[in-house]
Structure 1
Amino acid sequence: MMLTSNLKHVMQWWGSGLLKGLPSSLRRLVRSERPRVVLQLHQQALEAFWKPDQKLIPLGTYSLNAPIDLFSKPPKIIKGKKYLIEVQLPTKQGLLLEQRFPEAIQENLRQVIGYQLDRLSPFSPERAYYSAEPLTHDRKTKEINVNVQVIPKHSADRIIQQLKELGIPEVHLLSVTGSASAAPVGQMSATDLNQGWSWVPLGFMVTALVLSLAAPIAYQYRRVEQIETALAQVRQHSAEQLQVREQLNAAQEAMSFLTERRRTSPVALDVAEHLSQLLPNHTWLERLTLEGNALSIKGESSAALDLIDLLEGSPMLSQVKFKAPVTRSKDSNNDKFQIQAQVEVKS
């Protein structure tokens, strides 16, 4: 039993290493996206969908005031299948940001976002579920435009617990409406959660690998070809060293870029932290934009008209005024507001 478990871990480690060594275009052939049951939360209802690929197939609408029998009495389309459960929250339950990063961090995008999360948002990695998805790639500037999704952990855990009490089993992924990615729940990585092995192309690759390992046995009868192979390996090793050096230089440039951006624009993080402490609990920000000293915030509040006096009292802000008329949200019955102000930079 122990031997079988150890062999399984070795195969998983070997497969993960093999996958990382493949170009991104070939990775999609070897690993396919795992199907999901997507649960969209509304005020008093839950809509369920089956997502075997990119298409959503309706499974039904359920009330949040009674036990949900979707998984205890599954429909035929999902019965007996292995799938992930993704809970999709309303937009106001999360934070969606668009950020630009150097292209060199693309392979470790989520890890870099984790390091920078407390600078990009009011939350630390321990207090939020987060994910990142590249949107565009500017090859001229060598930058990528990234969609960053951040969901506060305390509110998300409360929702997950409520769903569990209604009969929903383990939740694997979280997302908000409009997000291009889903944040993993727990210790598993996004790759482990979103993809499974596609055995047909993998079989071809394993066969090719076995044949390439067996080939040196025949080289002992062909001494000349062995020398040529050794020379080719030396050339390849030299090329790999140059490639590693270029990657290190690119990574160093990326870190220098992030450090310089942090040094030249510290006020954006200070304003976000200041607003998180200043605004009352009944106020929720959906968007924060800072261009130079011009600040613009958009969100919802149960008392939006009181925010002007509150923000005017801040030593960091001046010229506070509504950017657009205050309207009433049909979904939450709160005031929707847009406020602009000037940030006073300390010398």
Structure 2
Amino acid sequence: MVSNTFTSSCMQSVFPYHWQTRLIGRSAECRVCWSEEQPWLLTPEGKRPWDRNAWGRDNALVLLLTPEQVVVCDVFFPEAAGKNLNTLLHHEISRFTPFQASDVIFAVGRRQVREQRLELTLAVVLRKRLEALLDRLAERGVAPDRVDALDADGRSLDVDLLPPERRQRRYSWPRLINASLMASCLLLAVFAAWLWLHDRESMLEEMTAEVQRLQREAHEITELRQRLADNDNATGYLAGLKHQTPSMLEALQDLTQCLPNDTWLERLDIKSQGEVIMTGQSGSVGGLIGQLGACPGISAPRFQGAIQPDDRSGKDRFSLLADIPVVTEPALEP
């Protein structure tokens, strides 16, 4: 009820009466007029004396002023004057009527723009006369919700000449329902827009999180691939190095078979490139080069340095270099 009252009161303060009726609907109206010193109830069948029981409380009560009770005239202004029409009429009312603006209540009925000229139907009533009429109606229990006027042809101008201080808010169920529906539609539209924006933000956050997760997984996969590639390279390098390094057991076996029995080694160093350094003593140093040269697993034997006799053993001390052929494993075809 509070929201409906607020909506209707805002419309009354912002929009003209005919716009209010279009926006929030017009409740059923009960029309009365003042004639022959008494109020009359206007019905489709004609007028009849005022009967309080014939007036539904939910119906708006409208007082119709006859052409004898109100001044109705057509006025013309430039089209641009429509922006501040009320202010302009307040200052110019004395040009169209013999009254001052403070002495009358006026309202604009029909209006139209023709050839860049604003044509208005102006309804003007003396404030004192209208106040007196309203007081006399109040004495008979008639409190209008609106004061309308009739032109010379008997047509309603659809205006409200009721003084602001006498206006009372009356709300009927149809108007309350219309106002509630309007407020509900507006709230639903705002809520739907908020839900749409919220869903888009949620989807964007989910997509951003998913992209970040995929990026992390892709980075981890790249690191794993790099590690596998490094391991493959290291494995291949070690395997190649293993095949290129001469076998220690094979070299010892060849030397054992090729060296004479009166020869022993004090030092044996086999390099990875296949070079062999031997230091030892022998009783037949002169035949070592020939015996080692005939050995199938040793090639290019040669002495290193001078041969020196050993007084303790009676043999000759020597230092000898030789090569052991390195057999590489053929590469596998892809």
Normalising by the smaller structure, the TM-score range is 0.3 to 0.5
**Structure 1 length as normaliser, TM-score?**
0.44
Q: Greater Rg, structure 1 or structure 2?
A: 2
Q: Is the strand fraction higher in 1 or 2?
A: 1
**Structure 2 length as normaliser, TM-score?**
0.46
